[in-house]
Every structure is written in structure tokens, then in C-alpha cells.
Chain A
Amino acid sequence: MRMYLEPIRAEGDPRRPRRFVWRKHILDVREILERWISQTQWWNQEERRVYMRVLTGEGIVEVYRSGERWTLSRIMD
């Protein structure tokens, strides 16, 4: 599993994205495996992060949405 923490573009309903575009790769969503929420540093005005573990055509990736921004967190080996 590798950590990336790079911006990623999501397409479709933010609660159920259809596809992600990362660098020049297109990652079609086949299934959302798990969803969880993280919001820890309230004293630091940290935004709520909605994490998703997603099965894509290229493998399993972990992304999160914070406000309008999407970030690629990790890619499973």
C-alpha cells in the first residue's frame, strides 16, 4: 500500500462518484467497499474528511473528500 496524498478529480455524485481521474489515469468505480469519516483537529479548523475505499478497474484505492476537494490517499498494492 503506498501513500500519495495527491489531488484527484472525481466525476459523478460526490456521495457516489462514478470515476476518478488521477494524473493521466482514469479509474472507473466498480464498487465502494467502505466509507468512513475523519474529523480530529477541531482546534485547528481541520475540515471533515469523508474517506472511501473503492474498487476500480485499476485496483483498490483510498480517496477522501474534504469540502469540494478530492485527494488520493493510498493505492493498495
Chain B
Amino acid sequence: MFACLHARSWFSFLNGGSSPEALADRASRLGVKALALTDRNGVYGAARLHKVCTLLGIKPIYGAELTLDDGTPLVLLARSNDGYANLCRLLTEAHQRDRLDPRLSLDDLGEYTADLFCLTGARGSRLRNLVEERKLNEARRLLRRLRTIFGDSFFVELCHHARRGDSMDNAILFRLAADEDIAPVASGDVHYAAGEDYMRYDLLTCIRLGLTVFDAHRERPVNAEACLRSREAMRCLIPYPAAFDNAARIAEACQVELFPGHVVPPHTRLPAGVDDGAAYLRSLCRAALSRLYPHEKARARAAALMERELAVIIDLELEEFFLVVREVIDEARRRNIRCAGRGSAANSIVAYLLGITAVDPVRHRLLFERFLHRGRKGTPDIDVDFDSDRRDEVIAWMEERFGIEQTAMTATLITYRLRSALRDSAKTLGYPLPLVDRMCKAVPHAGAGQVRVYRDNLAEVAGESPLLETLLDMVERLEGCPRHLGLHSGGMVLSRIPLYKLTPVQVSANGVKVVQFDKDDVEAFGLVKFDVLGLRMLATIGEALEVIERSEGRAAPLDEAPLDEPKVFNLIRAGKTIGVFQIESQGQMHLLAQHQPEVFDDLISEVALFRPGPLQGGMVNPFVRRRRGMEPVHYEHPDLEPVLRDTYGVILFQEQILEIAHRFAGMSLEEADDFRALMSKFRDPGEMERMRGAFVGGAVARGVPPATADSVFDKVSKFVGYGFCRSHAAAFAKTVYQSAWLKVFYPAAYMAAFMQHRPGFYPLLTLEEEARRMGVAILLPCINRSGVRYDIERGASDEPWRIRKPLSSIKHVSDEDARAVVMERLAAPFSSVEDFMLRVRPARDVAEALARGGAFDGLAGDARRALWLVGVLLRRLAPEQDDTPRLALETPLVAPSDVPALEQLNSGEQVAWDFATHGAARVHPMTLIRRSLNDLEVRPIGTAYRMRSRKRFRSDPDPQLLTAGIVILRQRPPTARGVMFVTIEDETGFMQCVVLPEVQEILMRTITGPALIVQGPLHIMGNWRGLVVEQAWPLRSVAGGFSGHPSASGGQDQHVRQAEYSEQELRALSKAMRREYMVDSDGRLVVRTSGPLQQDAVTRRTS
């Protein structure tokens, strides 16, 4: 057997040049019968190696290069499953000692060497270094020590990369081995599959070492010879036949079976006297059945569904998996942690009956096969969202319950994408960093393989040169290459046996234990992964309920609330959905204006409609128009009617794909789900055509005309992969409804919780404005009233609730600082700034931030005076001046004469200080320039909402509007074909501006500014307004630089009332205002308005 016993793949993370698949493929073509994967400090590629080797008929061998304490590698190969477990233990130990630089000493190998083969390692190893330096006595001592540790399983490795000195070194090694009676073994020390991969390997080496290709380094390759070779090629380089025989003996001795082919769930906890998990699962389901389905007819239907599901679950031996998930959910509920199952699991009535999901699959006609069927390999996905604030509690409990050695998080493989590949490659090829930044900005987020599509963009930035071609080539070569290992957002592995028997366990940057495999690989090991996801909206809802109970003295009946509350749907239909889960974006508001949801099922459609699948497939308009009776519902074939009836003939849910494949193309439900899964994975034309053949063939066999079958397949192929499953949409719709319900009935508590957790994407300024629009006042942070979190308060019981911002909302004031203030306040409220400073002794930046943020306004009068007082007190309380103990009746630290008569902050300064300290101002910045804007006839945004469409025909023009606002959102979604959406806001509301690509080209510099004046036709649809930008001007010179973000206000805390426009801009502005203008003798532009001449309104730019 010809074996390659030492090969690194790109799972050595920047230390190997090819994938395990590429290595195995080349091995197969070269006649290599056994291939060992020995990545640096890990077995990351083991599952992939197993898969590809099984396919190609090669024997996989699992091993690793373990880094010793001097940084040199030692090659270990697993002889048996016990050997593999020992390898994993050693790797775990190394990773837990040093996360970034895992190492072990020879002494540490100790008891974990059984059933492991040890190879001395190739170039760079300790032995090879000694031989290269001709320190042969030391080399002999090392060999003797390793033989003591590994006994007969220890071999001297001979490899040849056609480097200068390799032949001589091998001759010395062979003689040393013979002298010490240690067997030699031939290895390839492979770093990449084929010679052409050498460039990628060198590039990755440079990236790893932080070099450019022009820098020399001993770890860089000097040729392209570290590739896989055939037996003949190897024998030419290593003329020692015994070394090849030994390699074959090792390969034959390695017998590791890691992949069981079935799921091994963790042990569930059964009640006393019960020893059959399946029976227990059935009894739990039956008990819930009568509670959740009180009506006999529905119960009978549900019972039949339940029995059918139970049969599949028990057949697949997944009963313990379901019981384990139920255990976790029950524990979370017991601890009052909000959780909600989502994803395809909501298709299962068993999951519903166990309380894992909250969506009734009978009522919503959900399809179990989308979740699980007998043909499915591996564990089904059960994703559960938990309150993001308390998810760690759930994880800690799971570790305790299932065992610290049996639980860890799943890894995520972070592979190169276009921008990351471009950045790393360009830096390595010596492009200057500012140019690299510009190049990265010139390409979108895409796969590295698509780099040539954006060649012109890059040439425009970097210029044409031969190096650009090299760069494109290298970026292309990084497609799919892993860069580093990340942490899965929530995939928790639960194992029946200790994890070290299957995988090394590393520690992530934030201290979380993580296995070396991603979710697919974990499944191959038969391990169960359970997605414990953190959802900030659940944290918001949970906190809102706590605030309500604390302030009102009774719990809000959220979970019992009926799902048809008219006030909730009124709010949603009116598009007042800022802060509502999933439907708060401007795009969703636009869709709401068209869709006008009336019942809960409409919310399910609403959530599913706003996805790339329906949007790109052009399904939104037909759906909305058909729903509103504006066009007839049309089915391409009568068989599609029962499947698509409730979505008006439009494909909206993944389950419908499955049903179409079943009912229309004649596939079994299991085949149909496989078809759906394949369609979402394979996008290459060949695979697509094969699936088209299967689909169309099945449909034609059932009597469907070929043209119709083709047309239906086209619609299916456009949708798959980018749409929601109905169960997922239904689970999300419930959270949509609940968040809207809280916003309607408890706006203050809900918005306070929302500001605390910020699950959406609007800035704080917008959230505060939204609260004000709902009649909820926002109170500034106050040293005597504010706590650590957002809270609500009111003076008397008949007054409305107001939101009190916490001390920690002030920049530089951490939760710990705020907690210290609150703890000190428990003794007594603060009577003065001096009292506060003496009792709390805050750091300078904290005290000054509190003063500037208005937290002392109640004690000091205003922020400027408070800041002065703080300055005086900080100086007087400084350690060098405060070494004598103070008596209670001593004179105050600050005398009245210490504080001069300070001018109060003007409104501009006040807003600037507010922004700089706590992210939003007490008044909207646009109010400060409203008079100037009125003079220029720039209308408030609220004007748009008072305008009504007078269009009789589609061709009638829309009304024109000139308005202005601060930019709160700027988006260019990939589904919008280059259109940019800019949302602007003023004190009267917000509005979306649509900037078409051709307008972007002209106005790009302006529309990327922080505040804008815009002009164009206004689209009116129900309560939604959108302005199609035809002209835009920067508002910077009017608004004085308030960018809507505190960081941008630094240094510009006064608004400028005089505009700075070029003459061309002024002409355009004046034209837009439909007013005459003239330039006076001082070069000022005078605009004639309906009132008196406004000579100071605008002036010509002087620079």
C-alpha cells in the first residue's frame, strides 16, 4: 500500500495550500492508497477527509502536527479510536494552555501516547533542525527520548522537497535511524495538492507571517515541490525502500472508525419508573393533545398527525433528541427566560405539543416532511431563540446538566470572500494600505471567485499593471479557502460521550469552548447540535414585561392576548412600526402600505414576502394585487390550486415547493424535500438541468403539458433558497404581533426596553422621536433619578408614563459607574454636585460626561455650571490636595465665589452636548434651523404625510416636494438593482428617499452626506411616502454638522446659519424653489421669497 502519511490541508489555517478534497482527488489520481491529514494543531478536516476518501476508495488516516514548546512540529497519527481520543486530548490541552499559540512539551505527552504513531516531522521539526545544524549527538538524544515515550510506534521521517541539502539530510537521518534502531518512514510532508497550488501556499504563508511577497523568510517555500507525488516520483527522491515499506505498515495498522452513520443524542432524563424514551415522549404528547386541542374534531386530526410524526421520530431513534430539547425549553421557562422555537421545527406537531414551538401546525397547514422524514440524514435542525440577555444562563445550565465534557459550541468556518481575499492579497503583493482600502471599497460583498467581474472597478482604482493580473489570479485562488475558525452563533453540541473522544475542544476569543468542526461536520460525527440563539427582540419583550409589572403592579397579559386585536392591526397598517419585530424597515413599511394586513395569517405572509426570493422573483406585486382583487388569481395548472390557493397562486413558502414537487411532479414527500434541499444547494447549470429533467419528467408523466411543467419549474427555481418556510414565518409572525401589541398598549415600557436592547437598526435619535410621537416623553439622565437601565416613571397616577434615560446611556459612563452611583444613592439622594463628588469619587471623564450630559441639571441648574463645579471639585479633591481628613461641619469645597456668572448653553450648544454625551438630543436638531428652512421654502417632512395623491391615471405626475432632514439610514440592498434608499428625518417625521443609479452617479458625494435637502416627485401610497430624488444639496452648512451621530458632532457644536453653495448649486436650488435669485455687489446671493428679501439666507461659497 502506497501511503502519504504527512499532509497539511488549508485547514491548517494559512499554513496549507489545498482543501482535503483536492488532496484526496490528486492522491486518487496518483495511486496513493492511504492519505493522512495532519493539520497543524487540529483535526479540522477529518470529516471532509472521511467523506471524500470514502467516495474515492482511499483509506483516510487521521492525525495532526502537534506544536512542541519550542515551536517545532511533531507528527502524530491515530492508530485506533483510542489513539484518536488521545490525539484529541493532547490537542485540547495545547489549545487550552494558549488559545493563540497552542503548544505542549514532550513531558506533557505523558499518558496520552497510547495507540498513536509518532513521526519525527519534516523540515522545521526539532530533529531536522538538529540534523541541518549537524548537531548529531543532540539528535541522537532526542531520538532516544522520543522512543522512550512512543516505543515501537516511533519513526524517523524522511521527506524530500528538492531543496538544497535535502538528499544529504535524508542520508544522515537514515544513518541515525539505523544507529538507534529506529525505523525510517518515507513521507511527502505535503503542503498542497499540486505544483500550481504552491502560489496560494506562499501567499497564505506571507499573510500568516505578515510579509509581502518581496520579503524573505525561512518559512516561505523556495519551490513548488511540496506537493503530492506518485510512488515512482517519491522513490526517485528517497532511495530507501525500507522507508516506504514502513509507511505502508503504518497505513495498514491505522484503523479508526469515527463516523457512526446514525445520530447519538445525549441521554435524556426520564422520570422514575420509566425506562422507555419513546413511550415517555408519546405520553407527553398525548397529555398536551387534550389541552391544546379541546375540540374533538381538531383533536382527532391532530392525534393522527402526531402518531404519524411519532412513528418517523421513533424509527429514526430521535425520541431522546426531542426530549432533550424539551428539557432545555422547560428549564428556560422555569427560570422565566423567554424563548421561542423557530425554523422548520415549527412544522412538527410533536415539537408544538412538547412546547418547543408555539405555532399550531394543524391550524397553519404546516408540512412535517419539510422538517423531518425517513430519508433525512443526520439530526433535524431545531432552532430556539432565547432572550439574548439571558442566553448564557441557558448555556451554563446545559453544561451543568449534560456535563462539562459533553458540551461545547459548534465552530463556523470563516472562508475568504471577495473583500477579505482582495485585502490580504493586495497587501501581500505590496499595494500601499490606502490603495488597498480603496480597492476593497470598489467591490461589493461577493465570493472571491467573482473578482474578475469587478476588474474594471479595480483597474480604475489601482491602474492597469501586470501586478493587477496577478492580484486577480490570487484572489480567485482564495475562493473557498478558510481564513480562521469562528464561533457559530448558537449551535450547542450535546454529546452522549465525552467530546474529547471525537474532537479537540478549543477556547474562543471570548472564552467559549468550541469544537473543531462546523455544523455539517458535527452531524457527520452523529453528534446532536441544538441551536441556542440569542434574540434581542425576546430580551426586549422580556424586559418590557418586567418593567410593566414593576410599574403597574400587575403583569401584562401578553401571552394570553388574542391574535386579532384591531388596535394592533391598525398600528401595523398605518406603518407605525418602528420598534416592531421584522417589519420596521422602510421597505417593510412600503409593503405594509400595499399589503394592509388584517389578520394574523397576513402577518405570516408579510414576513415571508419581504425576502429575496419573492422580491427578486417578482412575486410581491402579483400577491398584493391579487389579494386586493386588482387582478384575477391564476393557476398554471389545476393541480397547483390546492397548494397555492391561500397565497393567491404565488409561491411564497418553501413548503409550497415541496408540495408542488409532490402533487405536481409526482415525487414522494421525502423525494420532494430532497429536491427542495438540492435546489437550494446546487446552482450550477448542469445540476439545475438534471433537476429540471426530473421535475418536468415527473409532471409530464402525470399528464401535464411539457411547456407548463417547464414554466412551473422556472418559478420554483427562482424561489428556492431565498424564501422562508411557512413554519418559520409563522413563528416570527407571533413575535411581530407580540411586539406590536406591547407598543400599542404599553408604549412607554416597550420603548424603554427597546432602547435598552436596541434590536433594530434605527439610531437612538429616531427611537426617541418615535416615542415622542406616541406621546411618551423622554427624560434626561439624572443623578438622583436614573438607574443602570432605561426605566419609566411618572409624577402622579393619572400622568402618562415617561422614559427616564439611564446614567449608563451617557458616553464614558459604564454600567459599573452607574451601579456605583445607584448603590451610593440608596443611603440618601445627592443634595449637591459636591455631595455627589465627595460620596462617589468618580473618575474625571465620568464626572465631566455626567455634567455635560445634563445629569446634574437638577442640582446645578445647567450643564455648563455643572461642568464648572465638577472641574473645581476634581481639582480640590485631587489626592495631592486632599490628604487631610474632612470634618462634617467643615466649610464647603466650593464657595459661591468659585463659580462665575456663566452664560447658559444656547440651543445649538445644548443639542451638540446632548448628542456628544448620550446619543440623542432633547429636541430634534432640525428644529434649530426650521426658520431658515422655512425661509428657503424647504418643507418639513410632515408635509408629505398631509399631501394626498390627486392622480387619476398612472401617467399623471406625482406632486413635487422640497424637504430636508438628517440621514438616519442609507441602504443599497442587493435585491434593489443598484437603487439606494436614504431615510431622512426631521422633528415632524421621517421619509424614505429613493435614489436611482443614474442620479447616484451625479449626486453621490451629496447623498452620502449626513444631512440633506432633497427635491423630487413624492410617491403616495396609503400612509407611506417616498420621494424619488431628482436633486439634492448638502445641509451641512445649514445644520452645522449634526450628522445624526454623536461622534460626528465633535468640534462643530455651533450651527452655521449661512449656507456655502457654489453658484451652480445656488442656481439649481433657486430653480427648485421656483424663485428668482440675484447676486448682489458683495457677492451674496439674494433669493426673493414671498416675504421680504432674505439677504443672509445664502451666500456664495468663497473658497
A contacts, CB < 8 Å to B: 34-43, 48, 51
Contacts and interface: CB of A to CB of B under 8 A. Distances in A.
B429 A34 contact: no
Interface in B192-210: 198-199, 202
Contacts of B470: 43
15 contacts: A34-B164, A34-B168, A35-B162, A36-B164, A36-B166, A37-B224, A37-B225, A38-B222, A40-B220, A40-B221, A40-B223, A42-B202, A43-B199, A43-B213, A43-B467
User: SS class of chain B's interface: helix, strand, loop or mixed?
Assistant: loop
B167 A34 contact: yes
Contacts of B221: 40
Contacts of B162: 35-37
Contact of A39 (B165, B168, B222, B429): B222
Nearest to A62: B164
A64 B168 CA distance: 19
Interface in B407-429: 429
Contacts of B225: 37
A51 B165 CA distance: 12
B134 interface: no
B473 to A, nearest CB: 9
A37 B166 CA distance: 11
Contacts of A51: 164
B224 A48 contact: yes
A42 B166 CA distance: 22
* Nearest 7 CB-CB pairings of A with B: A37-B162, A36-B164, A37-B223, A39-B223, A42-B199, A43-B470, A39-B224
B421 to A, nearest CB: 16
Contacts of B166: 36
A36 B429 contact: no
Contacts, number: 39
B377 interface: no
Contacts of A42: 198-199, 202
A72 to B, nearest CB: 17
A34 B167 CA distance: 8
Contacts of A34: 164-165, 167-168
Interface of B: 162-168, 198-199, 202, 213, 220-225, 429, 467, 470
B164 A40 contact: no
Given A40-B223, A43-B429, 4 more contacts: A35-B162, A40-B220, A42-B202, A51-B164
A42 B469 CA distance: 13
A37 B226 CA distance: 11
Contacts of B467: 43
A36 B221 CA distance: 13
Contacts of A37: 162-163, 223-225
Nearest to B168: A34
A14 to B, nearest CB: 16
Given A43-B467, A48-B224, A36 B202 contact: no
B222 A40 contact: yes
Contacts of B222: 38-40
Contacts of A48: 223-224
Nearest to B220: A40
Given A43-B213, A43-B470, A48-B224, A36 B198 contact: no
B188 to A, nearest CB: 15
Nearest to B471: A43
Contacts of A40: 220-223
Nearest to B162: A37
A39 B202 CA distance: 11
A42 B892 CA distance: 76
A37 B195 CA distance: 12
Contacts of A36: 162-166, 223
Nearest to B161: A37
A38 B918 CA distance: 62
B164 to A, nearest CB: 4
Contacts of A35: 162, 167
Nearest to A41: B213
Contacts of A43: 199, 213, 429, 467, 470
A48 B222 CA distance: 10
A51 B167 CA distance: 14
Nearest to B160: A36
B65 to A, nearest CB: 24
A3 B845 CA distance: 66
Contacts of B213: 41, 43
A54 B162 CA distance: 16
Chain A CB count within 10 A is highest, among B162, B168, B429, B470, for B162
A41 to B, nearest CB: 8
Contacts of A39: 198, 222-224
A4 B276 CA distance: 85
A14 B1054 CA distance: 80
Nearest to B237: A35
Nearest to A49: B223
A42 B167 CA distance: 25
B239 to A, nearest CB: 13
Nearest to B466: A45
A40 B214 CA distance: 10
A8 B758 CA distance: 74
Contacts of B429: 43
A39 B201 CA distance: 13
A46 to B, nearest CB: 11
A39 to B, nearest CB: 4
Residue of B164, B225, B429 with most chain A CB atoms under a 10 A cut-off? B164
User: Which of A34, A35, A36: most chain B CB closer than 10 A?
Assistant: A36
Nearest to B428: A43
Contacts of A38: 222-223
A51 B222 CA distance: 13
A60 B221 CA distance: 27
